[in-house]
Structures are given as C-alpha cells and as structure tokens.
Structure 1
Amino acid sequence: MNSSTLARPAVPALSGAWLTPLELGLLGAIWGSSFMFMRIAAPDFGALPLVSVRLVLGSLVLMPFLVRHRAVFTRSHWPKLALVGALNAAVPFALFAWAAQRAPAGISAIANSMTVLFTALVAFLFYGERIGGRRAVALVIGFTGVVVLASGKIAGASPGLAVAAGVSAAFLYGVAANLVRRHLTGLPAGAVAAATLGFAALLTLPFAVASWPTQPIRGVSWLSAVTLGVLCTGMGYALYYRLIQRVGAPRAVTVTYLLPLFGVAWAWLLLDEPVTLTMVAAGALILGSVALSQRQSS
C-alpha cells in the first residue's frame, strides 16, 4: 500500500526507537504462524472452506475501517477492489491452504518471500518500470532458491507441487501490489484491506459451501481457523497498516524477512516439522535475493 495516502501522526523519537522493531517482530510472528495454522486446519476443512472462514473473520475485524471511510469510494473503485480481493486474498490464500495439505508449513513460508521480487518483476514486464542490474541479479538468485526448495525431499516426498502453489500465490501478490499502487492510490489503506477481504470472502463463500466437509471438524482445527482469521488476517493487517502509517511502507515491508524465519520456527517448535538443509539453503538464497533487491531502492 502507498504510505503517502495516510496521515502520519507525530510519535516521540524515543518510543519509535523500540516500538517499531517490537511491532515488526510481533507482525512477523503473527504472519509467520499463519502457515502453521493452515497446516493444522487444512486437512480437516479442505482448502476453500478454510479460506472462506479466514476471510469472513478477517474482513469482520477490519470492517470498522471500511465503515469509517466508505464515503471516499466511488462506483468505479468497487470492481477494482473486487479484482484485488481475488488476486491478493481469495486465490493466494487458497493456494497456500492447498499447499498446507501436502507439505510442511515452512515450505510455504519460504516461498511466500518471493512476493517482493515478483512485485518488481510484474512492474517491469507489464508497466515498463526499470528493473536495474542489481534487482535482475536478485531475481535470478531468488528463482535459484525456488528450484532448490522444490528439488528437496522431506520425509521421502517431494514438495514440488506445494512450492509451485506457494510461488504462484506470491506471484499473484506481486500482481495485486502493482494494481493497488496504480489504481487505488489515495484511498485509506485500512479501508482498502477491509473491502478487498470482504469481496474475497464473498467470492469464496459459494465454493466453501459446496465443498464443506461432511465429517466432523476437530476442535483444534476450528481454533486454528478462527485464529487464522481473527489474529493472522484481521489483526495482522491492522497492525501492518499501523506500521505503514507511522514509519512508511518501505520500512514496514521489511517484515518480509521475518516471515520464513517465524514460519519455519513455529512449525518446528509446535508441530515437530523437520528443518532440512534444502530448506535452509533455499531460504538463505531467497531472503538474500530479497535483501539485495530492497537495497537498490533504499
């Protein structure tokens, strides 16, 4: 989201010195845990029912932002918000939930880090933005990390399809980021998030009803789904936009570096999922490429 669209309240420098790292760490922990919760709940719910529960709850948490700023939206904004909702929430959330049924949570958390690189690549391919030598090298390194990640074995099985799903979701995030920047600039970011999540919830609801599981869903899966919607989606987005408001989007987006670390750590600590050498190598390549890409624009 474009940080210039939000008013920036004065914050004492001393509080900002510790508050920003604290909130970035908290957001990294929250969003990193989302892959673990999907891993727990997806086998019981199925991908689309889980995503629908997540989106409904997340949009309800953020709905006050939309109610407060609803007057700023014109008729022409709503189709664009619906499109962004599909590309930035409904489809990628479903892809990650599908991957969670087939591979450890850390795989998706690492693949998600490609979002920053795909945002630059989409801007280059479709909008003619200059990519630069440093960022081009970063893209090559990042895709090398994806190949390494997909080629590994975990418990004797290949995570290749799950990696493909996660990388596809990251690509859609990159497309959506460019659409937001070009077509929704000037709108309050929190209200845009609420609207896009609401449209995504409406989009997935019929599919969720049609594929709702017939067998009873375990309590731990319900708890994971509710936490995924309320904490990881609703409250996570609210915290993210609070960061954008105070420190700007370039600093807020550095949370990208924390997601795979927390995603792998939560899954290892609470689900006893293995951390393989392939995951470490792929994560280092992808995160290194993101750092190199960000350095160009800093």
Structure 2
Amino acid sequence: MAPKAPQSPNYIVELSLLAALATLWGASYTFIKLGIETIPPVTLIAGRTILAGAVLLVILLARGIRMPRDRATWGRFTVQACLNSAIPFTLIAWAETSVDAGLAVILNSMTPVFTFLITALWVRHEATSHRKMAGVIIGLAGTTVIVGAQAFSHVGQELVGQLAVVGATICYAGAAIFGKGFKDLDPMVPAAGSLVSGAALLIPVSLIVDRPWTLEPSSSSLLGLVGLALFSTAAAFAIYFRLIRTLGSVGATAQAYLRAPIGVAIGAYFLGERLPPTAWIGLGCILVGVTLMTMPDRRPATLRAA
C-alpha cells in the first residue's frame, strides 16, 4: 500500500496536463483562422515558431538550463521540427484558408490512429490487440466519411485542404514517436530546440515568398499570432514533451479525443462555424476509435508494465 500513495497525485497531474494540452491545441485552430485573415500561412507559422522558441529560450535561461551545442542533437531537433512544427503547422495554416477550424481539428484528431499504425507496422514497440485494431478501422472510417463526402461532391481546394490536414496529422504521429528519443533532456529543451530549428527553416521561405515587410496585418490577426505562439505553442510544447516522457507516444497523443470537441466548440463560439452532418458522423467515429485504442488494458500485468 505504501508505494501506491505517491503515484495517485502524479497520475492526476498527468491527466490534468493532458486536458490542458488538449485545450491549448484545440484553441490553436481558431488562432490560426484569425491569423491567416491578413497574414500569409508561411509567415504566420514562421512568426509562431520564432516567438514561441524565443519565449522558451528565455525561460530556460532563467532556470539555468543550457541548450545542447553538439551537432547530432541539433540534427535531431531539426528532424523533430519538420515533423512537429515546420511542415504540419504550415499545412494546417494553408488548409484553413479553405477549411473551417472545426473541421481541421476533427481531421487532426486522427493523430493517435496514425501513431498506432506507424508503431504497429514499423517501430513495433507496442503489442497490437483486436480492440486497438478495431479502433484504427473505426477512426479511419471517420476520416473517410469527412473527406469522402467532399471528394464525391466536387474536387476543389477544400478537398486538397482536408488532405493537407491529414498529411499534417501523419507528421504529428511521426513526431510523437521520434520525440521519445529526447527522454534524457528536460522537456523544455527539445521543445525550444525544435521550434528554433523550425523557425530557421521557415524564415527564409517567408522572406522570399511573402515579403513580410510589405504586409499590413490587422489587430485581430496579430492577437491570433500572439495567442498561437505563447499558449498553443510555447506552453503546449513544454507540456507535450513532458507527457511523451511520462505517458509515452500513444498516451501523449490521446489528448486528440479531448482536443476535437474542445476545438470544435471554440471555433463555433468565436468564429460562428457550423459543421455539416458528415463532419459530426466522422467525429463520432474518430472519438470511438481513439477511445478504443487508448483505454487501459484490463490485465493487471499490462498495467504494471505500463
């Protein structure tokens, strides 16, 4: 009985952080929608990564933690940046020029499904089960309902935007698995390193493509950028890398089934979005699928191993 006492509050803390991460990332889709009104996607995401990375670097400096200086670690940060910020952030921001924020968050909630598929088919560090496979099938069916309805109606930018969000979701799945390699570092270090690396990749593209000095962003877009950088990126990434260390890759991505309804609710309240019936059917399938994949195994041995 004595060893179990300290584990209970830790478990509550981790679940609270998971809920906080879901809320921060759920809000990001609305922040992006506000930002892209007057700021092009690449420049918006370049600003997002540099601001968030700078905030985390200042916090690390105040804590007395130094960033690694070896080339190998920064190479890993760059890979993580491609998977977790530079590519997926830009894909989602571009997609939201034609896709509602609520629909984007629903499609993006497929992250645990793709994490499990990559794990089972490639990395293979987790055992598969009939329940988890059923979750994968149901989750994929939900995505097919959402994207398929658009595909059969007409092929246009909205369909391409939806597929871009799915591509970003696959990147996030790879990032969750690759991020496990940073367990030896303080969670804020890979968060800051990957964001700085992402900014280094995006800023030159922004300067060439968007010429940001010619832009005239609105106050709402600037507020969206600040909220996106400080809350949905700097704070969220610090929590995310901690959860990867404590809950594992699949466990950390489980916040997707909380993020979906939160993100849809935020988009509906602040942006007045109304989703089509197929989106709600798809959301239901995705939530059921992710729940089946992430619910704890009933076997005591498995629980102890976890």
> Is TM-score (shorter-chain normalized) higher than 0.5?
yes
Q: 1:60 aligns with which of 34, 38, 54?
A: 54
1:150 counterpart letter in structure 2? V
| Structure-2 change in CA distance of 1:188 and 1:21 (3 Å) | closer
Q: Which piece of structure 1 moves more, 23-32 or 67-76?
A: 67-76
TM-score (norm 1): 0.84
**What is the match of residue 6 of structure 1?**
none
Q: 2:94 aligns with which of 82, 98, 105?
A: 98
Show structure 1 runs of 5+ residues with no match.
Answer: 1-9
**What is the match of residue 189 of structure 2?**
191
**What is the match of residue 176 of structure 1?**
175
1:1-22, CA deviations, whole angstroms, 9 ceiling, x for partnerless residues? xxxxxxxxx97967975x6665
Q: Is the 8 A contact 2:103 2:275 kept in 1?
A: no
Percentage of identical aligned residues = 28
Q: Is the 8 A contact 2:111 2:253 kept in 1?
A: no
Q: Is the 8 A contact 1:65 1:191 kept in 2?
A: no
Q: CA deviation at 1:42?
A: 1.4
Distance in 2, matches of 1:32 and 1:189, equals 21
Equivalenced residue count is 284
Q: Is the 8 A contact 2:29 2:104 kept in 1?
A: yes
The aligned runs of 1:61-100 (5 Å cut-off) are 61-64=55-58, 67=61, 68-70=64-66, 74-100=70-96
State yes or no: 1:135 paired with 2:132: yes
SS of match in other structure, 1:187: coil
Q: Is the 8 A contact 1:87 1:173 kept in 2?
A: yes
Q: Is the 8 A contact 1:30 1:236 kept in 2?
A: yes
1:119 counterpart letter in structure 2? T
**What is the match of residue 7 of structure 1?**
none
Q: CA deviation at 1:167?
A: 1.0
**What is the match of residue 3 of structure 1?**
none
SS of match in other structure, 1:45: coil
Q: Is the 8 A contact 2:251 2:294 kept in 1?
A: no
Q: CA deviation at 1:221?
A: 0.6
Q: Alignment RMSD, CA only?
A: 2.8
Distance in 2, matches of 1:72 and 1:266, equals 38
Q: CA deviation at 1:225?
A: 0.8
Q: Which piece of structure 1 moves more, 198-207 or 77-86?
A: 77-86
Q: Is the 8 A contact 2:112 2:254 kept in 1?
A: no
Q: CA deviation at 1:290?
A: 0.9
Q: CA deviation at 1:286?
A: 1.0
The aligned runs of 1:252-291 (5 Å cut-off) are 253-291=253-291
**What is the match of residue 221 of structure 1?**
221
TM-score (norm 2): 0.82
Q: 1:119 aligns with which of 115, 125, 130?
A: 115
Show structure 2 runs of 5+ residues with no match.
Answer: 298-302
Q: CA deviation at 1:238?
A: 2.9
Q: CA deviation at 1:136?
A: 2.3
**What is the match of residue 150 of structure 1?**
147
